[in-house]
Amino acid sequence: MIELISLIAKSLVKQPDAVSVTMVQKGNMEIYELHVAPEDMGKVIGKQGRIAKAIRAVVKAAAIKENKKISVDIV
């Protein structure tokens, strides 16, 4: 899952080396924190959060295959 989020984010930003993803386990839920450079934050979020919603939708679809509950936070 980390690789998927990282791949999507790196294709959107100007500084792909600044992209990192960490996973935090809380109970039965996995929370993935996406870290990008401050100047790339707008590109990852998109207008009205559309790109962020799309990233979350793709990752949640992949998680359903594995019967996992996940959340993606952009930090």
- Reported confidence tier of residue 72, pLDDT bands at 50, 70, 90: very high
pLDDT tens column, 13-67: 999 999 999 999 998 899 999 999 999 999 999 999 999 999 999 999 999 998 9
What structural domains and CATH numbers belong to the chain?
2-74 (3.30.300.20)
What pLDDT, on the 0 to 100 scale, is given for residue 3? Answer: 96
* pLDDT for position 55: 96
pLDDT of residue 62: 92
C-beta separation of 18 from 37 below 8 A: yes
Residue 8 to residues 27, 28, 43, 52: CA-CA distances in angstroms? 26, 25, 12, 11
pLDDT of the residue at 49: 96
